[in-house]
Amino acid sequence: MPSNVDKKALPSYMMYVNGGLAGMMATCIVQPLDLVKTRMQISATTGEYKSSFDCLAKVFKSEGILAFYNGLSAGLMRQATYTTGRMGFYQVENEAYRNHFNAPPTLFSSMGMGILAGAVGAMIGNPAEVALIRMMSDNRLPPAERRNYKNVVDAFVRIVKDEGVTALWRGCTPTVGRAMVVNMVQLGSYSQFKGAFGPYFSGLGLHTSAAMMSGLLTTIASMPLDMAKTRIQQQKSGEYKGTMDVLMKVSKNEGIPALWKGFTPYLCRLGPHTVFSFIFLEQLTKAYKRIVLGDDSDSTI
């Protein structure tokens, strides 16, 4: 039987590097959609924005086009921590599974690995998540209440100075919970969709189609948890005690559909981000294998 033992393996550290780079590249493209999603979730109780397009128009009119990139430094930091951790850890798990069982992961194995990868990434990336939410929502606060962080480093320094180091992990529980759900669905389904679509597509077409389906499923499953995370990280008065408290209060006061408030911009943000992240990751991995390892085979994410 043919053996793959002779092939050089992708170094573990490159799995983390490629994962982080892919996430950062995708973030540069979808940052405006992330801002719209966050603004709509925060303003759900005030009805400030009628739709995603209304939010886009109002932000552009009152704050200018550069406002769509408020918090970009925090967004890139989040990808450099959260996505590096989750993508790298998942690839390491995936590679270990294939080497041990000499077969692609099953559906439940992929989901389990996605859960672990999400938890690891979320713990690492929570400080950047807090800074990102605050920076993107700052311009809608009254001038006297704005934090006016200069960049993500300034945000970290001032949060620790004014609120203590534990404030960087505010909302960590819902963040980890959301990340576990997101990665269970996103990473697990991507692997499965790649296997299912393999006989019909190849290369970029395969990666894009699998990522698009993965992005849709992930959006539906994670939206309520993302909304809870955003509300907790933005709050000042201790209005919410935790994730379940947010979900219960929002359902009671605003209706169950409010749990999916901002679904369109969230899908428009998470869908393309999923697609671009996986495409960039696949291409970065393929390029490293070809240039450094002399291996022209497709990646096995």
In tens digits, the chain (301 residues) has pLDDT values of 344 444 577 899 999 999 999 999 999 998 888 888 778 877 766 678 888 888 889 989 988 988 899 888 888 998 999 999 999 999 999 999 999 999 888 989 999 999 999 999 999 999 998 988 888 888 777 888 888 898 889 999 999 999 999 999 988 887 898 889 889 999 889 988 998 998 998 888 899 999 999 988 988 888 888 888 778 877 766 778 888 898 999 899 888 888 887 787 778 778 888 889 999 999 999 999 999 988 877 666 6
CA 151, 152, 154, 159 dihedral sign is positive
What integer pLDDT is reported at residue 5 of this predicted model? 40
The residue type at 160: V
pTM (2 d.p.):
0.73
Helices (H), the chain: 12-42, 52-63, 72-78, 84-101, 107-137, 152-163, 172-197, 203-234, 243-254, 263-288
- Pair 36, 52: CB distance under 8 Å: yes
- CATH architecture of the domain with range 12-293: Alpha/alpha barrel (1.50)
149: phi then psi, degrees, rounded to nearest 5: -65, 135
- Rounded CA separation 216/223 (Å): 11
What integer pLDDT is reported at residue 197 of this predicted model? 93
- Rounded CA separation 176/166 (Å): 15
Nearest to 193 by CA among 178, 177, 206: 206
Per-domain residue ranges of the chain: 12-293
What integer pLDDT is reported at residue 236 of this predicted model? 66
